[in-house]
Amino acid sequence: MYNLRLKANLLLLLVAAIWGLAFVAQRVGMDHLGPFGFNAARFLLGALSLLPLTLLFRARPHQAELGPLLRGGLAAGSLLFCGASLQQAGLLYTTAGNAGFITGLYIVLVPLAARMLGQPVNRSIWAGASLALVGLYFLSINEAMIINRGDLLELAGAAFWAAHVLIIGRLAPHLDGLRLSITQFLVCALLCLAVALIYEQDSFTPANLIAAWQPIAYAGLLSVGVAYTLQVYAQKHSPAAHAAIIMSLEAVFAALGGWLLLSEALTDRAMAGCALMLAGMLLAQLPSRRART
């Protein structure tokens, strides 16, 4: 059991690194495509990249029943669509670093949402949530008390990422991880495609898709095809709250990627906000004293 938990934690750390650096690819990709067109391409590519694996890895009969798989994929894919769309749109107005840290707030929202479902919440979670909110204030709200439009979209998206972590934690033990991943990616891709064909006709063209092939390839093959699938498998052996704290390091990788690859700079105020948010995310995941005794 310990070895399985350790492997799951290492996989989740890899997921955090891939996702963090994906914020860079997502920003660069929108030099040519709109938010929904980019997401449609990357999630479709992610789903297609996994299809050959279904020939190599057979699912257990009870985990591959079509009805539960479709219902689970539809639910997870719809939440994925909402979170990914808000995140991608937010990147039009904010930096990769900001987007990473604000998206990372979902690890505070996960246990709070669990509390709404009847699970106990300890003092560390409330303290961590408060600290993260103070950090968000320093990161996103300027002296004129105005929050950046992009940061606001990222904050809304964080709520859907929290819901996605929770639903994957519930579905993963009962459904085949590979087929669940493909199904949710296809659902997300089709929803994004429908919106792109309606509202992004000017930018969603073959020429622009070709021009953006590199960020699409990274975001589709690694961020979607590899990372989300690793998340599903890892969460079979890691509780949702435990998985969330490891994946919160995505924010650190996003800030590093934005600094190294996009020359994004953080002000002292923003750096203080990032530090407070990261501290709050970590504090929220501390076990309660009662749980340790």
This prediction has a pTM of: 0.82
pLDDT along the chain (293 residues), means of 10: 76 88 92 96 94 80 81 95 96 88 80 71 75 77 73 93 87 85 94 96 95 95 84 75 72 84 80 82 63 40
Hey, what amino acid is at 135? G
**How far apart are the C-alpha atoms of 289 and 293, rounded to whole Å?**
6
Of the candidates 83, 87, 106, 79, the one whose C-alpha atom is nearest the C-alpha of residue 151 is 87
pLDDT score of 2: 62
pLDDT of residue 142: 66
Q: Domain segments of the chain: what residues? A: 2-292
User: How much is the pLDDT for 177?
Assistant: 82
What is the structure's pLDDT at 66?
Answer: 84
Q: What's residue 285's pLDDT?
A: 65
DSSP class per residue in the chain: -HHHHHHHHHHHHHHHHHHHHHHHHHHHHTTTS-HHHHHHHHHHHHHHHHTTHHHHSPPPGGG--HHHHHHHHHHHHHHHHHHHHHHHHHTTTS-HHHHHHHHTTHHHHHHHHHHHTT----HHHHHHHHHHHHHHHHHHB-TTS-B-HHHHHHHHHHHHHHHHHHHHHHHTTTS-HHHHHHHHHHHHHHHHHHHHHHH-TTT-SHHHHHHTHHHHHIIIIIIIIIIIHHHHHHTTSS-HHHHHHHHTTHHHHHHHHHHHHS-----HHHHHHHHHHHHHHHHHTSPPHHHH-
